[in-house]
């Protein structure tokens, strides 16, 4: 049970740091959008050949 509590304490700590720095929040949201934009055409082509 101590492991879960320690994990929770670390999670809350790093989430507070993330919210304090809006750049990291924007980067975390922007990265998946970039990957979808770049690799979605490749996924579409691979589904046609199945």
Q: What is the mean pLDDT of the chain?
A: 85
d(CA 25, CA 31): 10
What does DSSP assign to residue 1? -
pLDDT at 6 (0 to 100): 96
Question: CA distances (Å), 18 to each of 2, 7, 26, in order?
Answer: 24, 16, 10
pLDDT value of residue 49: 61
The helix-helix angle for 2-20 and 22-48 (nearest 10°) equals 100
What are the pLDDT digits (tens) for 22-31? 888 888 889 9
Query: Is pLDDT larger for residue 25 or for residue 2?
Result: 2
- Mean pLDDT for 37-44 is 83
Who wins on pLDDT, 20 or 6? Answer: 6
25 Cβ contact list (under 8 Å, min separation 6): 18, 19
């Amino acid at each position: 049970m101590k492991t879960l509590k320690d994990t929770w304490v670390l999670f809350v700590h790093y989430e507070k740091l993330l919210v304090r720095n809006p750049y990291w929040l924007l980067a975390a949201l922007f990265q998946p959008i970039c990957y979808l934009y770049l690799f979605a055409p490749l996924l579409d082509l691979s589904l046609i050949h199945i």
